Chain A
Amino acid sequence: MADLGAMALLLGMALSIYAAVGAIVGEKIGMAELAVSARRALYMTALTVLAASGALVNAFVNNDFSIKYVADHSNTLMDRAFVWVAFYAGNEGSLLYILLVLSIISAISIRFAPRRLARSLPWTIAILSVIQLFYFGVLIFVASPFELLDIVPLDGRGINPLLTHPGMFSHPPLLMGGLIGITIPFAFVSGALIAGTYGDDWIDVARVSGIIAWGVLGAGLLLGAWWAYTILGWGGYWSWDPIENVALMPWLVMTAFIHSIMVQKRRGMFRMWNVALLNIAFVLAQLGMFINRGGPVVSVHSFAASTLGIIFLIFMLSSLVFAFALFLWRMPKLKSDRAMDSFMSREASCLINNFLFLAVMAVTLWGVLFPVFSDMARDISVSVSAPYFNRVNGPVLLIIVILMGVGPLLPWRKASARSLKQWFVWPTVVGVVTIVALVAIGVQRPVAIFSFGVIAFVASAIGEEWWRGTAARHRSGDNWFTAWWRLVNGNRPRHGGYIVHISILILGLGIIGTNFYQQRMDEALYVGESLVLDNYRIEYIDRGSSERPDRIAQWAEMSVYRIDPADYAQEFETARARGSSGFKLEDSSARPNDELIDQIEPWHGFYVDFNMASVRSGIRSTIVEDLYVIPRDFLTDGRVSIAVSINPLAWWLWTSGPFFLIGTMIALWPQASVERRPVRKKVPDESEGDG
């Protein structure tokens, strides 16, 4: 199997050299047959990588421990479901996985590329092949997943225990796929630049592949957050860890791109800008690879750390130089067809949104690099983590959300004062009323209240537009739902975008709730004792344990009661005097209004071979708040040490996911009518439509 895999990789490498050279030479000397065969070589490359990946998966499934990588990342004891995905659990295998995704999507995108791109396609093929060649080179010469061991061990080392979670099937593949997916729009646009076809022929390919990469990356990020929340016992879902940040940064830039590509599509503007955004996103994705594979920063995601840092650094710098040299060379030809008419236009607000996204990206990058900078400048190490990023990025993200409400309501070209009034009165009223109402009912935390107001503003801006459009169609005879559906179908990119905006608002609810209103309590309980926090009582009923060859697992059975704080008035008072918001009860006998609402089982596993603990929090999730119990430690004296938190609105974090996906899919669904309808409406009093 190892031989087969290694051979497949060698063959693939040869094929991508052929594809790169063949495509360029074929184009230059005008030999169509050579160009065609180069293209087919690209398709074949995908097959070779598929074969190599198949060989590796097969080795995992059959416990072929003669292969070092298999022995390092699996064993006979692990849950069998995970052997299928263990191949991307480590450095070498995940590189192979990335190459697999890249080669397949390259083949698909080239196969289905529109005909009108024929002139630039050879260059696109060459760029894709060169990038694949890089990965082939790394996989063959530096980090081969098919390296053999001299002495075959009886059993492997096993998979990193933190990775044995359902999230393993979705988060890593989507995240890596999304990052490498940015290569496709980048290759198409760069190909067009080299070939000198400056028109907008690449818009649709770049937009569709860009949205797919962006959506996949976004889904991967969200699933990673969910994974962290449910298992890793970090007690959070997003910790602004360097590895999280380097995946977020390209996503932010791609978010800017998928907005401004629409301006190019409808108005023929921002061409240069869109190319620049793709370049930045692509380089950032490479930066992510570099930091992930042995970069200079400390991270909780040390799964793929390796010594490949320098290689990826060189590749990143080369792509940076390539992308921007190409950009500068062709810049004069990327002029906009039309110019900006007004600050009060959708294109203007889109440009501001773009720059704010870039600002968040740059600030995040600055935070990631500041420790390195500090180290070099004065030899003092500092950490830059969540408190920093929340402080510096929070306000900008809030402004972006405000723009999310404003931008789409502005018309293309130029808004009149009347239309502004017409569209913004109601959302503003709703936003202000929300704020006043929250203040009136005694909600605390000004920043959070303002953010809720902003969310209400944006939601009602979307609602207003949907309401007007739906009502108009309803009047002409459709029932409400059909009317709304027709509205959405009338312009899928736009309304799909709205649904994604709604998902962001929902996500925002969760972020505000968990960040501003979380309640916490740490305690160690004997069996029979309870912990009371807010209006929950958590009773420690019993503990269980099991010993497996690879791990010692312990769990606590706990009952969750909803209580009436009045029953515990005295204890609450003592606790408050002590400065606590909750307290421990030795006597767990139920008080009159206690109501058993749930059973939870926080789980704690210790993996001896890895000297590593893995934790599964006990979570009772409702639409209002999550009760979240982390088992920190099972003490030898019979106590369990737990960290309890109440995370308001956490449920909404995960609810945003489906909306995000549905919205993205609607926006992507092919639609001919919008394509044929660039906005060239006259600004009144202008004598010529388009200059």
Chain B
Amino acid sequence: MVSRFTFVNYGSRALPNRAKLVSLGALFFALIFTATGCIREEDITLDQRAYQLASEIMCPVCDGQTIDQSNAQIATDMRLKVRELVDSGNTNAEVREYFVLRYGQEILAAPERTGFNLIAYIVPIFIVIISVGVALLAIRNMRRAARRNELETKLASGDLSVYLDKIDQDLGFTSDLTTEKKDQSSGQSDEAST
């Protein structure tokens, strides 16, 4: 049974658990990111750069293949050109630019992140954020519905605690009626092992 003075219950049990959980999770990710972040990648060789670039440039005569994948003669020539440009000290951006000037933007396997093409990269970020946001909102709404149902059942079954809580709220003892149920479950055993 929930205490009439819900804040007593609320303050002492549920919040610290959740806070602990959140901070543990944050610590976990922080650890992982520092652990992975502090490794310095060895400088990659010119070869590796050339192959990397070759996988970012489309073959102009083959459908949907990069010059890296294609066995066409022109792809071979273009691979050699990439290597040559890399050898003579061009940056990756300059190499890409070289081919864009000659073949148009279509030659890049991924659009460059500038101007209009930025849309190609921004939209996915929005898609992901909106998806997760909608999921979280949906869960929240469903939880609210759950509480409303519970409330109605309780009122219908003549359980006065809800009513009394409401009075508490009206009198200003507690500000939010809906927070009361948050801490009801700490002792629940799980059934994941079945």
- Taking a contact as CB atoms under 8 Å apart, the answer to whether B120 and A342 are in contact is no
- Taking a contact as CB atoms under 8 Å apart, the answer to whether B36 and A447 are in contact is yes
Residues of B within 8 A of A354 (CB): 135
**B172 close to A (CB within 8 Å):** no
**A659 close to B (CB within 8 Å):** no
A419 to B187, CA, bound (A): 9
A419 to B111, CA, bound (A): 47
**B188 close to A (CB within 8 Å):** yes
Tell me the smallest distance from the CB of A376 to a CB of chain B, in Å. 12
**A404 close to B (CB within 8 Å):** no
- Taking a contact as CB atoms under 8 Å apart, the answer to whether A444 and B39 are in contact is yes
**A559 close to B (CB within 8 Å):** no
Q: Which residues of chain A in 326-342 are interfacial with respect to chain B, using CB atoms and an 8 Å cutoff?
A: 336, 338-342
Interface residues of B, dominant DSSP: helix
A54 to B21, CA, bound (A): 63
What mask results when residues 658 to 675 of chain A are scored 1 for a CB within 8 Å of chain B, else 0? 000000000000000000
Among A19-27, A138-146, A153-161, A383-391, the one that faces the other chain is A383-391
**B192 close to A (CB within 8 Å):** yes
- Taking a contact as CB atoms under 8 Å apart, the answer to whether A446 and B107 are in contact is no
- Residues of A in contact, count (CB < 8 Å): 105
Tell me the smallest distance from the CB of B33 to a CB of chain A, in Å. 8
What mask results when residues 337 to 356 of chain A are scored 1 for a CB within 8 Å of chain B, else 0? 01111110000100110111
Tell me the smallest distance from the CB of A457 to a CB of chain B, in Å. 10
- Taking a contact as CB atoms under 8 Å apart, the answer to whether A453 and B65 are in contact is no
**B48 close to A (CB within 8 Å):** yes
A490 to B193, CA, bound (A): 11
Q: Which residues of chain B in 49-91 are interfacial with respect to chain A, using CB atoms and an 8 Å cutoff?
A: 51, 55-56, 58, 62-66, 68-69, 71, 73, 76, 79, 86-87
- Taking a contact as CB atoms under 8 Å apart, the answer to whether B139 and A641 are in contact is no
Instruction: Specify the chain B residue showing the minimal Cβ separation from A448.
Output: B36
Instruction: Specify the chain A residue showing the minimal Cβ separation from B106.
Output: A381
A468 to B39, CA, bound (A): 36
Q: Give chain B's interface residue range (CB within 8 Å of chain A).
A: 35 or more
Tell me the smallest distance from the CB of B109 to a CB of chain A, in Å. 4
A414-B41 CB under 8 A given contacts A382-B111, A447-B36? no
Residues of A within 8 A of B149 (CB): 339, 691
Tell me the smallest distance from the CB of B26 to a CB of chain A, in Å. 13
A25 to B194, CA, bound (A): 48
A432-B127 CB under 8 A given contacts A341-B146, A469-B193, A613-B71? no
Residues of B within 8 A of A415 (CB): 188, 190
**B2 close to A (CB within 8 Å):** yes
- Taking a contact as CB atoms under 8 Å apart, the answer to whether A679 and B36 are in contact is no
- Taking a contact as CB atoms under 8 Å apart, the answer to whether A615 and B71 are in contact is yes
**B175 close to A (CB within 8 Å):** no
Tell me the smallest distance from the CB of A127 to a CB of chain B, in Å. 29
Instruction: Specify the chain B residue showing the minimal Cβ separation from A380.
Output: B105
Q: Which residues of chain A in 200-239 are interfacial with respect to chain B, using CB atoms and an 8 Å cutoff?
A: 233-236, 239
- Taking a contact as CB atoms under 8 Å apart, the answer to whether B46 and A579 are in contact is yes
What mask results when residues 232 to 265 of chain A are scored 1 for a CB within 8 Å of chain B, else 0? 0111100101100000000000000000000000
Set A386, A428, A686: member contacting B66, Cβ < 8 A? A386
- Taking a contact as CB atoms under 8 Å apart, the answer to whether B124 and A383 are in contact is no
Tell me the smallest distance from the CB of B191 to a CB of chain A, in Å. 5
**A299 close to B (CB within 8 Å):** yes
Among A64-72, A177-185, A357-365, the one that faces the other chain is A357-365
- Taking a contact as CB atoms under 8 Å apart, the answer to whether B143 and A355 are in contact is no
Set A235, A396, A449: member contacting B69, Cβ < 8 A? A235
**B173 close to A (CB within 8 Å):** no
- Taking a contact as CB atoms under 8 Å apart, the answer to whether A382 and B108 are in contact is yes
Instruction: Specify the chain B residue showing the minimal Cβ separation from A630.
Output: B71
- Taking a contact as CB atoms under 8 Å apart, the answer to whether B45 and A685 are in contact is no
- Taking a contact as CB atoms under 8 Å apart, the answer to whether B64 and A241 are in contact is yes
Residues of A within 8 A of B193 (CB): 465, 468-469, 472
Set A242, A340, A491: member contacting B143, Cβ < 8 A? A340
- Taking a contact as CB atoms under 8 Å apart, the answer to whether A450 and B111 are in contact is no
Residues of A within 8 A of B190 (CB): 410-411, 415-416, 419, 422-423
Residues of A within 8 A of B18 (CB): 417
Binding site for B on A (CB under 8 A): 233-236, 239, 241-242, 269, 298-300, 302, 336, 338-343, 348, 351-352, 354-356, 358-359, 362-363, 366-367, 370, 374, 377-378, 380-388, 391-392, 396, 408-420, 422-423, 428, 432, 435-436, 439, 444-447, 449-450, 453, 465, 468-469, 472, 490-491, 519-522, 576, 578-582, 613, 615, 630, 632-633, 641, 679, 681, 683-688, 691
11 contacts between A and B (CB under 8 A): A380-B104, A383-B109, A385-B58, A388-B109, A409-B192, A436-B35, A450-B36, A519-B48, A580-B47, A581-B47, A685-B184
- Report the 3 A-B pairs with minimum CB-CB distance, sorted nearest first: A579-B46, A340-B142, A339-B146
